[in-house]
Structure 1
Amino acid sequence: MAFGISLLSLFTLFALSILSFAYSKAQMVPAMFIFGDSVVDVGNNNYLPCVARADFPNNGIDFPTKKPTGRFSNGKNAADLLAEKLNLPSSPPYLSLLLGKNDSSFLTGANFASGGSGILNGTGRAFGPLLPLTKQVAYYLSVYEHLVHKLGSNGAKKRLSKSLFVIVTGNNDLSSYSRDSDLRKRNTPQQYSDSMLLVLKGQIKRLHIFGARKFVVTGVGSLGCSPSQRSQNEGERCDESLNSQCVSYNKGLKSMLQELKSKKLMDIHYSYFDTRRFTEVRAACCGLGKLNAEFPCLPISTVCSNRSNHVFWDGSHPTEATDRVLVDAIFDDPSHYTFPMNLRQLVAV
């Protein structure tokens, strides 16, 4: 009897190991770690006493649960859709794990993104306490220690070297500069962009020290053509001064990544994604006022009936349909939007 039970137990363990192996092989990378702003926030701000939140209707109207989750979107956002492409589960917000609201071993990653935040610590301060990039990276170091404890130093380093580190930030820094006369008095546009790049460079190097080798870094979009910007301008025109600074920043970002790869962190690989190349449209799907963009998406807001044909969900955030187009582009585009490789190629390195 004991022998028979042992055989059954061994068979069960063998079967489970096969299933586990098959699942791990289905995943294109072991894990994905997300850093950034509201474009990829999956609800971290729900756990902060801030006003930059999206945990109320009509947000989430097309999410599988049909409920708001803290995503600044009608449905899934780019972080969710990237996870789908990679056959990974979408990571819950890190703060929910920190506060014991969810359980995770961090083996498939974590999401540290915080709506309203930026590269610079002062960005978004008017919204209340947020998680700037430096704080997000500090939280990642706690996850690193957890993985070392769980997998051992070599096991953690091996897993992290094949994982993706996705950085989607900078939008709020540049938008803040365009609105803040004090910032403009203290810094020329070039000085401000340089300060952003210096901090970002330092955080990438910090992540590298703690295991990161594969980076996905996005440039900023044509922020001056977002509905929220257009609604403030005569004739609903784009803010070309802000767009020009976006172009300059993206150029500097691309150069910084090339320099890191060629001179300082030669063992990294990266995919830079230029979102600015995508065409902008005028009106938001959810909001109030001119272009549905003078006020944020609120429970009392007007909501378009067909979210699939709108680029913008609210005054500054894309719809799920737009994010699907963007994620498809970064994943498989040969060269038009990505440099020096697309995401599929990065995974294969």
Structure 2
Amino acid sequence: MANFLIFTSYIVVTLSLANGFINGVDAARAFFVFGDSLVDNGNNNYLATTARADSPPYGIDFPNQEPTGRQEIGSEPPLPYLSPKLKGDKLLVGANFASAGVGILNDTGFQFKLHDLGARKVLVTGTGSMGCAPAELALRGINGECDVELERAASLYNPLLVKMIKRLNKDIGDDVFIAANAHKMQIDFITNPELFGFATSKEACCGQGPYNGVGLCTPLSNLCENRDLYVFWDQFHPSEKANRIIVQQILTGSNDYMHPMNLSTVLAMDSIGV
């Protein structure tokens, strides 16, 4: 069975698939993650930074109130690469290199050739609905409407991402790179929250100020009673329910959301050695 590497940068999520053998035996899948706070499962807890989620009310609905570690496909989640527990057999599960606050520019991020390093399937998520986050409604929005400039940037970015993915796959001669249209996934329930069981897509569950979009989510912030009614958890990040909807689209979404295939198709092909 092939090894998986998950790469993320900023809000770009990459899933890489490479063949791996350990002592001559086909190895189980391993996941490696790179990115920002959307996928940071604890690295920043070991860093001197305010960009971390290891204090209440983060994780309030998760067992033991731990704010990170969920994984939908059922395998053991990889540990943060800074965790002292990441050694021995845990390395075979993979590692999460994501760090809250990381960027995509050369001065904040990093670049390398995934395919040259053995990556065989790379899932890249485009930018989400940047102009509709509570922080942007509070800072830039007019009468609770999404910021037009940021939404225009997102709407331009995602088609260009698909175009780049097609070009890369053509150059390689295989469907290595897969694009996930995160903007469309989010805008569906942002523009029609009631259809998905949400009460609001404007106000964050945790925060302060207009739309609860000002400042960090802390124990002193306003906190909603029912997190499932909110599209956004804090000023930027989707709620757990919203994230589950996004993950399901990544797993089973049509070509409107996933190009050229969804993650379930990738896993099915991997299981039969395609």
CA distance in 1, matches of 2:173, 2:100: 32
Contact 2:202 2:211 in 1 (8 A): yes
Q: CA deviation at 1:104?
A: 4.5
Secondary structure of the corresponding residue to residue 123 of structure 2: strand
Cα deviation for residue 116 of structure 1 reads 0.9
SS at match of 2:34: strand
Residues 128-187 of structure 1: per-residue CA shift (max 9 Å, x gap): xxxx3x2xxxxxxxxxxxxxxxxxxxxxxxxxxxxxxxxxxxxxxxxxxxxxxxxxxxxx
Q: Which has the higher helix share?
A: 1
* Cα drift, residue 243 of structure 1: 1.0
For residues 171-182 of structure 1, what are the structure 2 equivalents within 5 Å? none
Q: Indicate yes or no: 2:194 matched with 1:207.
A: no
Aligned twin of 1:32: 31
Other structure's SS at 1:110 match:
strand
Gaps of 5+ in 2: 1-24, 191-200, 270-274
Which SS does the other structure have where 1:235 is aligned? coil
Structure with greater proportional strand content: 2
Decide whether aligned partners of structure 1 residues 35 and 268 sit closer, same or farther in structure 2, where only a CA change above 3 A counts. farther
**How many residues align structurally?**
230
2:87 pairs with 93, 96, 103, which one?
103
Cα deviation for residue 52 of structure 1 reads 1.2
Post-superposition Cα deviations, 1:86-126, rounded to whole Å, max 9, x if no partner, equal x3101111111xxx244343212211111111111434xxx
Partner SS, residue 251 of structure 2: helix
The verdict on how the C-alpha distance between 1:334 and 1:251 changes in structure 2, with shifts beyond 3 A counting, is closer
Give matches, 1:1-349, under 5 Å.
Answer: 30-67=29-66, 69=67, 71=68, 80-81=70-71, 84-85=72-73, 87-96=74-83, 100-105=84-89, 106-123=91-108, 132=109, 134=110, 203=112, 206-233=113-140, 234-263=142-171, 265-277=172-184, 278=186, 279-280=189-190, 281-349=201-269
Q: Is contact 2:80–2:97 with CA below 8 Å preserved after alignment?
A: yes
**Partners in 2 of 1:94 and 1:104 — Cα distance?**
13
**Deviation, structure 1 residue 266:** 2.2
Deviation at 1:222, TM superposition (A): 1.3
Q: In the aligned structure 2, how far is the partner of 1:210 from the partner of 1:94?
A: 18
CA contact (8 A) 1:46 1:55 kept: yes
Contact 2:137 2:202 in 1 (8 A): yes
Q: Which amino acid aligns with 2:107?
A: G
Deviation, 1:237, is: 2.4
Q: Is the 8 A contact 2:165 2:178 kept in 1?
A: no
Give distance in 1, aligned partners of 2:205 and 2:38: 16
Shift in Å at residue 51 of structure 1?
2.1
Report deviation, 1:267. Answer: 3.9
Calculate percent identity across the aligned residue pairs: 41
Whose Rg is larger? Answer: 1
Code of the aligned partner of 1:53: R
Could you report, residue by residue, the CA deviation over 1:261-281 in whole angstroms, capped at 9, with x for unpaired residues? 001x22452331111112321
Give the TM-score, by structure 2 length.
0.78
What value does the CA root-mean-square deviation take over the aligned residues?
A: 2.1
Q: 1:266 & 1:45 partners in 2: Cα distance?
A: 38
Q: CA deviation at 1:255?
A: 1.1
In 2, the alpha carbon distance for the partners of 1:122 and 1:210 equals 22
